[in-house]
Structures are given as C-alpha cells and as structure tokens.
Structure 1
Amino acid sequence: MFERLVPKLRVDSVYQIDLDRLYAQGIRGIITDLDNTLVGAKAPLATPELANWLEQVAAKGINVVIVSNNNANRVGDFSTPLRLPFVYKARKPALRAFRQALHILQLNASQTVMIGDQMMTDVLGGNRMGLFTILVKPIAPSEEGIGTRINRMLEKVALVRLRRRGLWQEEDN
C-alpha cells in the first residue's frame, strides 16, 4: 500500500518539470491538481508565470486537464480564462475523475502524467491509474483547509514508513 504513495518524480514546482523530456518519453497529456500545485489555495487566477508555463506546455504539444477535489465555482473560475478543461469534486484518489480526464485528453495512461502536491490524493490516485506521477511541494501550505491538513498528517506517518523501507530518501522531503 505505501509504495503507491511514492511518486515517480519529485520537484519543487511545475516550473522544474522538463517538458522536452516528457514529450520525448511519449507524454502528450498532463492531469494536474489546482490548489497548491498550480497556485496557492486562495489564488483566484493564474499568475503570469503560470500562464506562460501553460503556453509552453501547449507549444510542446501537450494538453492539460485540471482535476481538483474543489467545487465547480473554484475550479471553473480558475480554468475558464485559461481555456482549460477541468473536473471538479473529483474525490481523488478515486479513479472516476482520472478516467474522465483521460477521456477528455483522448489519451491512455501511458501517455499522461499526474502532477499534484498531495501523496494521499494526487500521487495515490495517479499511481493506481497507471500514470507517471509528479509530486510538487505545496505553494502555500498556510492556506490549506482542514481536509488537506489531515492528509498532510497522514503523509507524515506514511513518510516514516517509506523511509524505513528505503523507498523515500531523507534528503528528499
């Protein structure tokens, strides 16, 4: 069970992801979480830096779908100006939303990555779906809701076990 919490790649932010390498590996789609992955949980819109990154992603021929456990207003208000499709109230790590995102992308799991800031939702769901998972550090942890804070506590317990099993290196928090 704990192995499913281990992402294939860990980076500080989406800006550190090597898009050329993903494309060379056959990746044509990104499923991404919203809050604390792309922007802080209370940021209503994309930053100019994020908008530029999304343009770079599109220029590489990689499509993006936002999959969030948040509500329709939050996810829609953020995604619509960017012209990005989205899935809200995803209930990650449940697989329904991941399947829906793959359908939107018209891709299979081997052509798609999942980017998120939470092991218990984004990484677990992505790994269960067979996606290449990328864990980013949360942008604004102080803005997180109670559900996310509970997940963070569970992640700490899981990290202890993963370290004991040699599946998570100490220097890679």
Structure 2
Amino acid sequence: MILTPEYIFKTIECIHPDFLAAHGIKALVLDVDNTLTADNSQVLEHTVQAWLDEMRAAGIRLTIVSNNTAKRVRPFAERIGLDWVPLACKPFTIGLRVARRRLGCKKSEMAMVGDQIFADRMAAGLYGCPCLYLMPRTNHDKNKFVLLKRKFEPYWIDKYYQKGGKLYE
C-alpha cells in the first residue's frame, strides 16, 4: 500500500550503511524537520552529525528535500554541507525527481528518509522509491496541517506492524 511504511526506524541514527548496502541503496533524500533536527530548528545534534559523517564515509550520496522554504532550509543545509531542494511539494514527486537528477542515481538506488506518512512516505510511494520512515524526533510540531495529518498516521503504522514489520533501533 502506498501509505504503509516499508521500514520504520526509531531515529535517523538507526539507519546503517550495511542496511543500505543490503537493499541496494546508494543515495538518501533527507527531510529536515523532525528528521535531521527538531521541528523548525537550526541545531544539528552531534549524533546526527556523526551519522552524516558515517554515511559520507560509506559513499552514500545525500541531499535534502524539504517542503519548507529556502529561508528555512538554506542556512541549515549549507552549514552541514548538503545540497537542498526547498518547496518540494511532497507528496508530489517533483522534489524527488530534482534530487535524483542531482544525485545521479536510479530510483531503485535511492530512498526517501522522513517522518511523515502523508508527505515523505507518500511521495516515495508515488515516485517508486523506498521510504525509510522515521519516528518523529520530537512531538512538538508547530504546523497545524502537520498536526492534523499526525492524527491519521497511527493507522498506517499499525498496518506495518500487522504485516510483520519491525522497529529498527
């Protein structure tokens, strides 16, 4: 199903290069808010920086694709040294198409990493690439539309577990 996660990770730091290699994933498209950092934060935790360094050392290509504005995404992305696509319009696939061209990989070699079923997971499903769904870093979403969508996410997460899915920690 297009909304049921394929994989659920506790945090982004739980995604390891050996998992990616086993699934043929060579590039990651990363959401920002509640994925790399807390909602609307410019602070990158040291554990996430270490994870980014680990991914780079393993040869995993990385880019940011966010529904947020350039004003929000640019300073964060530039500080951590990643290319970025703002106003991605997820769940539409335009941001993922731009990212794939920049990453120079096949759809089957990239995965979307994000914390929202109705944006990140749905965009990946519509585009035809896997999604590595994350539990949100915080439960302090400020966007009222995101808060509304969050109310419907447990149904799809339960479907994942009913199908035998596990939480990667």
Normalized against structure 1, the TM-score is what? 0.87
Instruction: Give the alignment's Cα RMSD to 1 decimal.
Output: 1.9
- Structure 1 counterpart of 2:54, which letter? Q
Same amino acid, percent of matched pairs: 27
Deviation at 1:157, TM superposition (A): 5.3
* Structure-2 residue corresponding to 1:142: 140
- Structure 2 counterpart of 1:129, which letter? Y
Contact 2:5–2:157 (CA<8 Å) still a contact in 1? no
Equivalent residue for 1:155, pick from 147, 153, 156 = 153
Deviation at 1:156, TM superposition (A): 4.0
Contact 1:6–1:167 (CA<8 Å) still a contact in 2? no
Q: State whether structure 2 residue 6 is matched by structure 1 residue 8.
A: yes
More deviation in 43-52 or 73-82? 43-52
Deviation at 1:167, TM superposition (A): 4.4
Deviation at 1:6, TM superposition (A): 1.3
- Structure 2 counterpart of 1:123, which letter? R
- Structure 2 counterpart of 1:74, which letter? R
SS at match of 2:78: helix
Q: State whether structure 2 residue 44 is matched by structure 1 residue 46.
A: yes
Contact 2:141–2:147 (CA<8 Å) still a contact in 1? no
Separation in structure 1 between the aligned mates of residue 157 and residue 6 of structure 2, nearest angstrom: 15
* Structure-2 residue corresponding to 1:80: 78
Equivalent residue for 1:90, pick from 82, 85, 88 = 88
Equivalent residue for 2:64, pick from 61, 66, 82 = 66
Normalized against structure 2, the TM-score is what? 0.89
Deviation at 1:46, TM superposition (A): 1.5
- Give 5+ residue unaligned stretches, structure 1: none
- Give 5+ residue unaligned stretches, structure 2: none
Deviation at 1:11, TM superposition (A): 1.1
Q: Greater helix share, 1 or 2?
A: 1
* Structure-2 residue corresponding to 1:129: 127
SS at match of 1:30: strand
